A and B are shown apart, each in its own frame.
Chain A
Amino acid sequence: MKRIESGNVAAALGVKLAKTQVVAAYPITPQTPLTEKLSELIEAGELEAEYITVESEHSALAVCIGAASAGARAFTATSANGLLYMSEQVHWAAGARLPLVMCVVNRGVGAPWTVWNDHQDSISQRDAGWIQIYVNDHQEIIDTVIKAFRLAETVSIPVMVCYDGYYLSHTHMPFDVPDENKVDTFLPAYSYKHTLNPESPENLNTVTMPFARPDRDGVNKPGYMDIRHNLQQELRTSIPVFEEIDTAYKAIFGRGGSPILSAYKCEGADFIVAAMGSLSNRIKDIVDELNLEGLKIGVLSVHLYRPFPQAQIIAALQDAKGVIVIEKALSYGNQGALFGDIKAALYPCIKRPFAHSYIIGLGGREIKKADLYDAIKESCTTSETFEDTSRWIGLNR
């Protein structure tokens, strides 16, 4: 069924179709319409779930951690400082291997206060051990939320579905709402290996020593580092798992096919612009213009940011002359976060494209088509003299 709704409503409908059992959330702009919609769906009886109106984001994720550990499918959503306030819990949920799904409605972080969009909030949590997926439009929001539950529950690793505040959260677009019965087929009932159960008691997340220790039967059990190594290994292997899940989704719903990266006019391109989220779609317009001018250029949209898909990045970029990374977040004191990751991925290649970095749109700074055009064109034409630091587009100068 086609509907015209906001990105936040698309996310809420995905959460509903996933038959989420526990929702906990704290209001923060621009996430609020998503969680308001969920309260409405639950109060109206359209979604049979418990909605816990917590007093903070830290508690929102705590409720989800408790609920998922006790055998229920749980969801939360936040933005910006809310995500930072729950950061301790973000790390905890990954370490505890809880299959949670959280929407991060991307917003810049304070100080100074901003309510507008950039990616600094979720990028700051990239090392926590979650899977991070960045989506580009409303259809991808609803589809990815549903896929995220299956992915989280298959690999027992929590998943963040990140989408741009305002650009996607508050704009209305047509999208297809998947059929409920088909979603039920696609997404099996929630299961978690270590559900709290009085009939077979376990002490979860207890103090774990640096070394392996024997259990009561004398069998050696992993130490902290071994457990963390498992998380890293299973994050790496979740890349093909996500591809399989996407294939299964496509077989039922007819949409998907590029869950890790999506390429636009990248076939045989000399230059490729890499970006995440709705910005990727805006860059398509610039690319179309530059194509008309005779430049062979495409856009690579990075959906799966953690685990970082090195092999796919290499395959997509190694034959280009240049890669231009445009992003809305950075590792302060260093460079653009995606830029650093892409460069690191390309390091083993014998023939490497040049790589340029641009920072754009922080705190909702207007992204002007002309600025994007000028920056991309300059990168393509003056690659030799370009500095290895991030250039900022649209500064007030």
Chain B
Amino acid sequence: MNKQVTNPVNLTAEEFMHPGNRACSGCGLSTLYRIGLKALGRDSIFVVPPSCLTVMQGLYPIAATQIPCLNVTFASTAAAASGVRAALKVRKKENTKVVAWAGDGGTSDIGIQSLSAAIERGEDFLYICYDNEAYMNTGVQRSGTTPQGTITTNTPIKGKIQKNKDLPKIIAAHNPTYVATCSAAYPLDFYNKIIKAISLKGMKYIHIHTPCPSGWGIAERLSITVGKMAVNAGLYDLYEVENGKKTLSGPSSKLLQKKELPRVAEYLKIQSRFRALSEQQIAEIQAEIDTKWEGYRQEVG
């Protein structure tokens, strides 16, 4: 495979997303969507459940995108994408890419059953989950991927009691063709992982840590900064899983060389959603990160 490195200069100039969409200012998703469409190209069909993306794509009869898109019910994304793929197969249009693009609630909670089944059946499409760690479109309610301690509108005082689901790990346990994690703060890493994913047959899954200024309680200009902090503190790891093997990728793999990573407290304290966390809880999160990275370093040797 041609391993040309994508950079802002050689990134395709063609745009598939019109300017003037309905994303909030500083939205991590809007960056990802623009870059994602460039990587996917014109010969693609999208399947989208209710999410911020539904709104971002525009209200009838105006669309902010130049890719055909089927809006579907919340729980049915992966099943509807399977139906689109089946139709393209019988119509002998197998080169057209089918892409499901959903949020964390739509993937880890209400959509996990149909997604799990689609992977088990060995469907051939790319499923992208942008994880902004809560139900942002309905006004910031906790989801399965909301981290412990997060203040949301239905965990308003104490913060979420439970830990989050490790969704990419759950997906990887199904042994699909390809699993990758990305961050909206590293859009070119996302671009390259899409290029790789669409070159493969079978079920591909990309999970993206996606800062949301209004939901996370950060200034709009800090969206990318916060995303980078999560990766660089070793809290959110970017990796790929192929044939059952997990490999740290891009920005995360570089952290292996570092003796010490920036403290996670910096990342947590910049966001008002974590204001209920005690120093004790922050220390526990740091300890978990330290143990995890100790393990990574030992694996590499």
A63 vs B88: C-alpha distance when bound (angstroms): 12
17 contacts between A and B (CB under 8 A): A56-B113, A62-B72, A62-B83, A63-B79, A65-B76, A66-B47, A66-B83, A69-B83, A70-B83, A88-B73, A89-B76, A198-B68, A206-B54, A206-B59, A207-B60, A209-B59, A221-B60
Name which of B37-45, B154-162, B231-239, B248-256 contacts chain A. B37-45
> Does B71 reach chain A (CB closer than 8 Å)?
yes
Q: Are B59 and A67 in contact (CB under 8 A)?
A: no
> Does B30 reach chain A (CB closer than 8 Å)?
no
Can you list, as one digit per residue, whether each of A171-189 has a CB less than 8 Å from chain B (1) or not (0)? 0000000000000000000
Q: Are A205 and B71 in contact (CB under 8 A)?
A: yes
Q: Are A59 and B68 in contact (CB under 8 A)?
A: no
Q: How far is the CB of B201 from chain A (nearest CB, A)?
A: 16
Q: Are A66 and B61 in contact (CB under 8 A)?
A: no
Q: Are B73 and A89 in contact (CB under 8 A)?
A: yes
Name which of A47-55, A158-166, A338-346, A360-368 contacts chain B. A47-55
Q: Assuming A63-B83, A72-B90, A221-B61, is B68 touching A197 (CB within 8 A)?
A: yes
Partner of A59, one of B62, B79, B85: B79
Q: How far is the CB of B22 from chain A (nearest CB, A)?
A: 10
| Chain A residue contacts of B265, Cβ below 8 A | none
B: residues with CB less than 8 A from A are 42-45, 47, 54-55, 57-63, 65-73, 75-76, 78-91, 96, 113-114, 116-117, 120-121
Partner of B116, one of A55, A62, A202: A55
A284 vs B45: C-alpha distance when bound (angstroms): 53
Q: Are A58 and B68 in contact (CB under 8 A)?
A: no
- In the complex, the 4 A-B pairs of residues with the closest C-beta atoms, listed nearest first: A66-B83, A59-B79, A62-B76, A55-B117
Q: How far is the CB of A149 from chain B (nearest CB, A)?
A: 15
Partner of B43, one of A49, A198, A204: A198
| Chain B residue contacts of A67, Cβ below 8 A | 83-84, 86-87
Q: Are B82 and A52 in contact (CB under 8 A)?
A: yes
| Chain A residue contacts of B57, Cβ below 8 A | 203, 206
Q: How far is the CB of A86 from chain B (nearest CB, A)?
A: 10
Q: Are A215 and B70 in contact (CB under 8 A)?
A: no
In this complex, what residue of B is CB-closest to A207?
A: B59
In this complex, what residue of A is CB-closest to B69?
A: A203
| Chain B residue contacts of A198, Cβ below 8 A | 42-45, 67-68, 96
Q: Assuming A64-B83, A72-B90, A198-B44, is B55 touching A207 (CB within 8 A)?
A: yes
Partner of A201, one of B68, B85, B114, B117: B68
| Chain A residue contacts of B83, Cβ below 8 A | 22, 24, 52, 62-70, 74
> Does A29 reach chain B (CB closer than 8 Å)?
no
Q: How far is the CB of B49 from chain A (nearest CB, A)?
A: 10
Q: How far is the CB of A82 from chain B (nearest CB, A)?
A: 14
Q: Are B121 and A52 in contact (CB under 8 A)?
A: yes
In this complex, what residue of B is CB-closest to A20?
A: B90
Q: Are B62 and A22 in contact (CB under 8 A)?
A: no
Q: Are A206 and B114 in contact (CB under 8 A)?
A: no
Q: How far is the CB of A233 from chain B (nearest CB, A)?
A: 19
Q: How far is the CB of A252 from chain B (nearest CB, A)?
A: 26
Q: Are A70 and B84 in contact (CB under 8 A)?
A: yes
Q: How far is the CB of B92 from chain A (nearest CB, A)?
A: 11
Q: How far is the CB of A226 from chain B (nearest CB, A)?
A: 11
| Chain A residue contacts of B91, Cβ below 8 A | 70-72
Partner of A63, one of B75, B80, B113: B80
| Chain A residue contacts of B68, Cβ below 8 A | 196-198, 200-204
Q: How far is the CB of B168 from chain A (nearest CB, A)?
A: 21
A68-B83, A203-B65, A205-B70 given. 15 additional CB < 8 A pairs? A50-B89, A55-B120, A59-B79, A66-B84, A72-B90, A196-B68, A196-B70, A203-B58, A204-B69, A206-B58, A206-B69, A207-B59, A213-B62, A214-B61, A215-B61
| Chain A residue contacts of B88, Cβ below 8 A | 70
| Chain B residue contacts of A2, Cβ below 8 A | none
A64 vs B86: C-alpha distance when bound (angstroms): 9
Partner of A66, one of B43, B75, B80, B117: B80
Best-surrounded residue of B57, B82, B96, B116 (most CB of chain A within 10 A):
B82
Q: Assuming A65-B80, A198-B44, is B113 touching A204 (CB within 8 A)?
A: no
Q: Assuming A65-B80, A74-B83, is B90 touching A206 (CB within 8 A)?
A: no
> Does A237 reach chain B (CB closer than 8 Å)?
no
Q: How far is the CB of A63 from chain B (nearest CB, A)?
A: 4
Q: How far is the CB of B266 from chain A (nearest CB, A)?
A: 38
Q: How far is the CB of B64 from chain A (nearest CB, A)?
A: 9
> Does A373 reach chain B (CB closer than 8 Å)?
no
| Chain A residue contacts of B80, Cβ below 8 A | 62-63, 65-66
